[in-house]
Every structure is written in C-alpha cells, then in structure tokens.
Amino acid sequence: MSDVGPIDPGYGAESALLSKWSLRPDGEPLTTPSSRVIPVRTADGVPAMLKLSRIDEERRGGALLLALDGRGAARVLRCEGDALLIERATGPQSLVGMVHDGDDADELATRILCAAGDRIHESSDDLLNRTPPLDLVPLDDWFRLLFAHADDLEPAHRRGADLALALLAHPRDRVVLHGDLHHGNVLDFGERGWLAIDPKGLVGESAFDRCNLLCNPSHSRALDPGRLERRFGVVVESTGLDAVRYARWVAAWGALSSTWFALDGDERHARGALEIGERALALSLAA
C-alpha cells in the first residue's frame, strides 16, 4: 500500500504504479488509442501527470522529453518502462484562449509558439550526439503517406508532395523537432514559463515546426479572414525564415495533414488542411 492510502481499484493496471510511486489520482484519466494520462499528485502534493504510452510514437516522444530534461518542455520527474511521471501545467493562461481574445493576443500566442520551438531546437547539438542515439524520425519518413497517396487524391496533394520532395532534398538546417507544435501543446507552467508537451520526436529542417501553428486551434479559426496572413507574417518576422520557403513548407504540411485526414475518412478536415496550405502558398506567390 502507498503511504498516500489505498488506490481506487478502477485504475486497474495503473494501480501498482500509483502505489509504487506514492501518487494520488487528482482528476479524470484521459484514455486514447496511443496513451493513458492520469492527473496525479505526489506524496509531497506536487501536481503531475502520469502517462502510459501504448504505441512507439508516444514512447519516442517520451524519450525526447526525458532527454530534454525540462529545456523548453515539461520535465520528466520519473520514468519506468512505458510510464512517465511529468510535471503538470498549472498556470492560468492558455494559448487556445488567447486566440479568442483578439488580434494582439493571437499574435502573442504565435510568438510564444515560435519561441517554444526555438528552445527545443537549441538543444539539438546535444540531442543529436548522444550515445546511444535518440530514436528520431527523419522528415522524409514522416511524409511517406503523402508520397504514397498524392496521385490518388487532389492535385494540391501532388503539388504538396513535390514541394516536400524539393525541400527535403536541400534542407537549410537539421535540428531535433517537436513535430506537433500548436496551441494545445504549449502550456503555461507558471514560473517555468511556456513549455511544450507531447513531442513526436522528429529530425529535420526547423521550418517544419512552424507549420502546424497556422492550422490551430481549429481549421475554421485558422481560416478566419486575415488570420492566416497575420500569423504568417509574425512567424517570418519572429524566426527570420525565408517567406517563400516557409510558405512551401506550409503547403507541404497541409497536404500531409490532409492526407492523414482523408485516409481516416474525415473529408471536412482534409479540405481544411489543404486550404490552409494552398492559401499560404498563394501568399508567397503574391509577394
């Protein structure tokens, strides 16, 4: 038995770990096909999240979190097998909420997302030279479903695939990528600032990590009149990215994301992701 008392038997397989680490459930668990996440408190009352990975993608992201050791991302407090105990965000602010608070707040959220990516990328020299090496997925592999299905979908998918092939053939840099930076994956950790959660664990050109933020927190919100154009300008100004190359990355990302949705039978989101990419590409052509 844990020194924090008996564990609710409803937690099943996690009960032994909750007891072993002296954790008390502190909220409703979230269960997905890829993981199970339980809000907890430690014996000292520290809020944390107990995450149990179910697929390799989640395990890879957990290994990256562990290697980052709190640099730009939530810190892993403890780990064992597929289980991670991760510090919990308890700050009052939300990037998703900022999007609804007007253009200035939306711009600030965009800058925060860019800075979050920078902090992870800055650790690349260390992360890419570890022994044994981290298990990171190259962007060439990440785009594989787009390459495989581009000719079966819309012309914009083929265009996105061709752009991706050209970009991947001549990368401007090579860094460790979060892989899924958006408004729901960078949280307010109070005194620790804004930190990333749930990385995918990729490696490739840094511009890729600036793409998904243009699509969130929803496609409909991202496509509000003028929003994409403003965010695009903020990213280019904040990061120093070449606008034309960035637009091509966004178009490639939009085609990839659209492919995933299309293969899942989600035509509405497939269209939304494709439209975001095409609008970004049009921005570069008009420049």
**pLDDT digit string, tens, across residues 252-283:** 999 999 999 999 999 999 999 999 999 999 98
Alpha helix ranges (H) inside 122-266? 124-127, 139-142, 144-149, 155-169, 219-222, 227-239, 243-263
Mind giving me the DSSP string for 94-126? Answer: -HHHHHTT-HHHHHHHHHHHHHHHHHHHTTHHH
Closest CA to 37 of 67, 3, 61: 61
DSSP 8-state code for residue 133: P
pLDDT at residue 285 is higher than 90: no
SS3 state at 85: strand
Distance, CA of 60 to CA of 87 (rounded, Å): 18
State the average pLDDT for the chain.
95
- pLDDT for 119-139, tens place per residue? 999 999 999 999 999 999 999
The confidence band for 286, taking pLDDT boundaries of 50, 70 and 90, is: low
The whole-number pLDDT of residue 4 equals 38
Which pTM value belongs to this model? Answer: 0.94
The confidence band for 10, taking pLDDT boundaries of 50, 70 and 90, is: low
Q: Angle at Cα 55 formed by Cα 115 and Cα 61, nearest 5°?
A: 20
The confidence band for 231, taking pLDDT boundaries of 50, 70 and 90, is: very high
64, 110, 142, 153, 199 from 137: Cα distances, Å? 11, 25, 7, 25, 12
Kind plus residue range of the DSSP H or E element containing 270: helix 267-286
Residues with catalytic roles: 180
pLDDT at residue 236 is higher than 50: yes
In the chain the domains, ranked by start, together with CATH numbers, are 9-87 (3.30.200), 95-286 (3.90.1200.10)
Percent of the chain's residues with pLDDT above 90: 93
User: From its phi and psi, is residue 183 left (phi > 0), alpha (psi between -120 and 50) or beta?
Assistant: alpha
- pLDDT for 84-113, tens place per residue? 999 999 999 999 999 999 999 999 999 999
The confidence band for 196, taking pLDDT boundaries of 50, 70 and 90, is: very high
CB atoms inside a 10 Å sphere around CB 259: 27
Q: What is the mean pLDDT of residues 172-191?
A: 98
Q: What is the mean pLDDT of residues 156-169?
A: 99
φ, ψ dihedrals at 138, nearest 5° = -65, 150
- Burial letters for 72-97: b for 16+ Cβ neighbours within 10 Å, e otherwise? bbbbbbeeeeebbbbbbbeeebbbbe
The confidence band for 1, taking pLDDT boundaries of 50, 70 and 90, is: very low
Exposed/middle/buried for residue 40 (C-beta within 10 Å: 0-12, 13-18, 19+): buried
Distance, CA of 83 to CA of 60 (rounded, Å): 12
Q: What is the mean pLDDT of residues 205-223?
A: 98
